[in-house]
Amino acid sequence: MSPEAVRKVNVIGHLNPDTDSICSAIAYAYLKNHIDDANTGYEPRRAGSVNRETAFALNHFGFEEPRLITSVAPQIKDIDITPLQGIGLETSLEVAWDLMRDTATGTLCVVDSQGDLEGLIAVKDIANANMDILDNFALSRARTPYQNVLDTLQGTMVVGNPRDVIRMGKLSIGTTPEMMDGMVSPGDMILVTNRYESQRFALESGAGCLIVCCGANVTSVIRNLAEERGCTIITTPFDTFAAARLITMSIPVRAKMLPEEKIEFFSVNTSVEDAQRVMARTQHRVFPVLREDGTYAGIVSSPNMLNVDKKHVILVDHAELSQTVEGIEQAEIMEIIDHHRVGTIETPGPIFYRCEPVGCTCTIIHEMFQEYDVEIPADIAGLMMSAILSDTLCFRSPTCTPADIEAGRSLAMICGEDPEAYSDAMFDAGANLEGRTADEVFNSDFKIFSRGDASFGVGQASFMTKNSRLAAEELLEPYFETASKAKHIPVIYYMFTDIRSQTTEMLYYGPYAEQLLSRAFNVKAKDGRAVLPGVVSRKKQVIPALMTTIQRFEEEQG
């Protein structure tokens, strides 16, 4: 793929993001923006709510949360939107018709002065208005501006104000005084020729407007009488027949359009898949598109859907399909930077994939900063340090490697923090349950895994004190059944890890959960919990043991 084809890349961590997931997305986006000269923009995104530990790190080093992204499936913004200009509410049917002809389209979108969609006018709407020859009140009912009449009839206003509108009366053709006798009502619009008697009779009968055809002159007597009686006079070069046919085309489109509440339209954020479903069930061929601020952007139709630009993403801190953002199968994965097992994500072609057996993704990114000789700012260093301290439990986890310790201490020097004191404050912030719901705490660090036909989820929360750990257990344990149903996974494990004692109390839920846990760790599991001394790492100690046990269990069963 050529560099010109890629203009924006989303750098995304896993669902239910932890500190490493968020901080590695921010740090790697920063690095890529400094080393990529292909005019590409890299933006960190989050695939879920930020937990309190991560919020503490972001706030401490002066960062806003990355923008949320819930799907990377193609959206309307990823196709070629036809930039068809919108027309104003007062635009005449004639102008709309000319624009349709010039742009070879059968539909136009009507917008207000702020660019908000107000309606849609189609060829059939103009045709219906033009064919309704018996509706001689059409102009007054539509509150047609005189300026529209002037433009449509190529007219000149002799008496009156172009900004006024036609508010009452019907449209008639005035031939002779005898024929007009009893026909003219107050406010009527009368088409006349150069006959003085007809013009005067119409005025004296209370006409609201005279349309003088064939380019005839208007005498000063008629002009003065019209001014006295408040009657508008317009001259037109067209003859009476042509003027009568054309004048209904001066009606504003707002009077004939399909109103906004009856229109099927899309946002630029509407998924292409959803848009195609709407198109399939309606008879409309053209669909307006609105920008994120709600203003009109253009139109799309079925042919637009044939050329879709995939979203470009870089995945950090995960390589499991079950942990990534929705729609990843329809996106272009450009890179994966991870420190977990090789997961279930597949790509159609080769990509840049960097996976190292270290305790944290930010340790890998720290190496890449050094390899590219890019200076790490203090605030970015603070985030990367936070991630390493979080994933390695301040260098206490068995997943921690010398590379993690070296990177963590180096970053601490750059940002000016003491790792021990800072990690205590960060872990305490993460363990604070005040005002938090069970759903929020449960999903703050929860991942789903699969092995064959078996799927299960493992969450983890780390605590500095026994009281905070027990409070979290009391909050979450009743929620497991709800979470199992909501996430469609039969088995749930949740690690409540005491950082200081290096012990995890594992709570579990679901069929075979107790049997699997007992066999995986050779412990006595009872009443939904088991104590696992020395077990603090989900990635290195828990997941491999469960995966192996599940495989053996399936072999025994089958």
Residue 367 burial (10 A CB sphere; 0-12, 13-18, 19+) = middle
Q: Report how far residue 429's alpha carbon sits from residue 50's, in angstroms, rounded to the nearest whole number.
A: 13
| Domain co-membership, 125 together with 259 | yes
Q: Report how far residue 159's alpha carbon sits from residue 234's, in angstroms, rounded to the nearest whole number.
A: 7
Q: Is residue 38 part of a domain?
A: yes
User: What is the length of the chain?
Assistant: 558
Written as tens digits, the pLDDT of the chain (558 aa) is 344 445 689 999 999 999 999 999 999 999 999 998 876 799 999 999 999 999 999 999 999 999 999 999 999 999 999 999 999 999 999 999 999 999 888 899 999 999 999 999 999 999 888 877 778 899 999 999 999 999 999 999 999 999 999 999 999 998 888 888 888 899 999 999 999 999 999 999 999 999 999 999 899 999 999 999 999 999 999 999 999 989 999 999 999 999 999 999 999 999 999 999 999 988 888 899 999 999 999 999 988 888 888 999 999 999 999 899 999 999 999 999 999 988 888 888 899 999 999 999 999 999 999 999 999 999 999 999 999 999 999 999 989 999 999 999 999 999 999 999 999 999 999 888 888 899 999 998 999 998 878 899 999 998 888 888 999 999 999 999 999 999 999 999 999 999 889 999 999 999 989 999 999 999 999 899 999 999 999 998 999 999 999 988 877 776
Q: Cα–Cα–Cα angle for 396, 401, 404, nearest 5°?
A: 85
| Adjacent-strand bridge partners of 189 | 171, 209
What secondary structure, in 3-state letters, does 401-470 show? CHHHHHHHHHHHHHHCCCHHHHHHHHHHHHHCCCCCCHHHHHHHHEEEEEECCEEEEEEEEEECCHHHHH
CATH code for position 534: 3.10.310.20
| Domain co-membership, 300 together with 336 | no
Q: Listing from the earlier edge strand, what are the strands of the sheet with 312-316? A: 67-68, 41-46, 8-12, 312-316, 332-338, 352-355
Residues 6+ apart with CB under 8 A from 244: 171, 173, 191
Quickly tell me which residue has 């930077």 as its tokens: 337
Residues 191/173, Cβ–Cβ less than 8 Å: yes
DSSP secondary structure code for residue 389 in this structure: H
Q: Is residue 134 part of a domain?
A: no
Residue 554 has what pLDDT?
79
| Domain co-membership, 153 together with 122 | no
Closest CA to 111 of 281, 299, 389: 299
Q: Is residue 289 part of a domain?
A: yes
| Domain co-membership, 210 together with 107 | no
Quickly tell me which residue has 């959803």 as its tokens: 274
Residues 339/358, Cβ–Cβ less than 8 Å: yes
Q: Which two three-digit tokens encode residue 70?
A: 């819930």
Q: Report how far residue 308's alpha carbon sits from residue 81's, in angstroms, rounded to the nearest whole number.
A: 11
- The upper half-sphere exposure of residue 274, i.e. CA atoms within 13 Å in the direction of its Cβ, equals 14
Q: Helix 513-521 to helix 543-557 angle, to the nearest 10 degrees?
A: 110
| Adjacent-strand bridge partners of 173 | 191
CATH code for position 286: 3.10.580.10
Q: Report how far residue 211's alpha carbon sits from residue 408's, in angstroms, rounded to the nearest whole number.
A: 86
| Domain co-membership, 265 together with 120 | yes
| Domain co-membership, 403 together with 321 | yes
Q: Report how far residue 439's alpha carbon sits from residue 485's, in angstroms, rounded to the nearest whole number.
A: 13
Given 410, 430, 450, the domain boundary residue is 430
Residues 36/372, Cβ–Cβ less than 8 Å: no
Q: Is residue 137 part of a domain?
A: no
Helix/strand/coil percentages in the chain, nearest 5: 40, 20, 35
Q: Is residue 468 part of a domain?
A: yes
Q: Report how far residue 135's alpha carbon sits from residue 91's, in angstroms, rounded to the nearest whole number.
A: 20
| Domain co-membership, 9 together with 62 | yes
Please give the sequence-ordered ranges of beta strands (E in DSSP) within 183-279, or none if there are none.
189-192, 209-212, 232-235, 258-259, 266-267
Q: How far is CA 163 from the centre of its chain?
A: 41
Q: Is residue 135 part of a domain?
A: no
Given 409, 430, 451, the domain boundary residue is 430
| Domain co-membership, 314 together with 302 | no
| Domain co-membership, 329 together with 315 | yes
Q: Which domain holds residue 406?
A: 3-74+310-430
Q: How many domains in the chain?
A: 4
Residues 324/315, Cβ–Cβ less than 8 Å: yes
Q: Cα–Cα–Cα angle for 535, 540, 542, nearest 5°?
A: 55
Residue 6 has what pLDDT?
52
DSSP secondary structure code for residue 509 in this structure: E
Please give the sequence-ordered ranges of beta strands (E in DSSP) within 69-160, or none if there are none.
87-88, 107-111, 117-122, 156-159
Residue 212 vs residues 71, 156, 219, 335: alpha-carbon distances, Å: 63, 10, 11, 74
| Domain co-membership, 24 together with 168 | no
What secondary structure, in 3-state letters, does 90-116 show? CCEHHHHHHHHHHHCCCEEEEECCCCE
Q: Report how far residue 268's alpha carbon sits from residue 230's, in angstroms, rounded to the nearest whole number.
A: 50
Given 216, 231, 250, the domain boundary residue is 250
Residue 82: count other Cβ atoms within 10 Å of its Cβ.
16
- Rounded to two decimals, the pTM is 0.69
Q: Report how far residue 75's alpha carbon sits from residue 268's, in angstroms, rounded to the nearest whole number.
A: 7
CATH code for position 325: 3.90.1640.10
| Domain co-membership, 260 together with 120 | yes
Residue 558 has what pLDDT?
64
Q: Which two three-digit tokens encode residue 47?
A: 């695939």
Residue 346 has what pLDDT?
87
| Domain co-membership, 111 together with 162 | no
CATH code for position 150: 3.40.1390.20
